[in-house]
Amino acid sequence: MPNFCQQHWDELKAAIEARDLMQFVAKDGKQAMENMVRDLEGQNTVVDYEPLLGSDFCMSNVAMSFYGLRMMAVEEGEEKPPCPVCMMQKMPWIEWVASGALAEAIRRGLIADPNKQEEPDGGKSQES
Ligand SMILES: [Zn+2]
């Protein structure tokens, strides 16, 4: 059911266990499914608190917000949809934040836009 790869699933279970939360984890797939159905129907209660599946859904939602329905698709040659943790680790975070910093510096007029074409006439024909 979870799309986590084995390594990340094991890491998540260890993290839940390290926080003494395994006592709240569903005992089997049937109980987990019943909890999930109540959750989807908006009928879950504090009794249905499930830290393992909840963490799984949380991570999957984050990955879905970036990759959309691709997170639910089974790629050719794969047996199940991609692991959300693996997918998020593929994101070029360093490039993105550095590019964001560059865009902000350009916006503030601190440096010239390196991607902006120089006008042949020195920008005289530019508006404003
Ligand atoms: Zn993974």
Q: Is residue 120 part of a domain?
A: no
Q: Is residue 114 part of a domain?
A: no
The total number of structural domains in the chain stands at 1
How far, in Å, is the centroid of ligand 1 from the Cα of 83? 5
pLDDT tens, position by position, 29-75? 888 888 778 878 888 776 677 888 889 888 999 999 989 988 989 98
Structural domain that includes position 33:
6-107
Amino acid 44: pLDDT = 72
Q: Is residue 115 part of a domain?
A: no
Q: Is residue 58 part of a domain?
A: yes
The residue-averaged pLDDT of 70-84 equals 91
Contacts from 106-113 at CB under 8 Å and sequence distance 24+? none
How far, in Å, is the centroid of ligand 1 from the Cα of 84? 6
∠ CA 113-114-117, nearest 5°, is 85
- Specify the higher pLDDT residue, 40 or 91: 91
pLDDT tens, position by position, 8-33? 999 999 999 999 999 888 888 888 88
How far, in Å, is the centroid of ligand 1 from the Cα of 105? 35
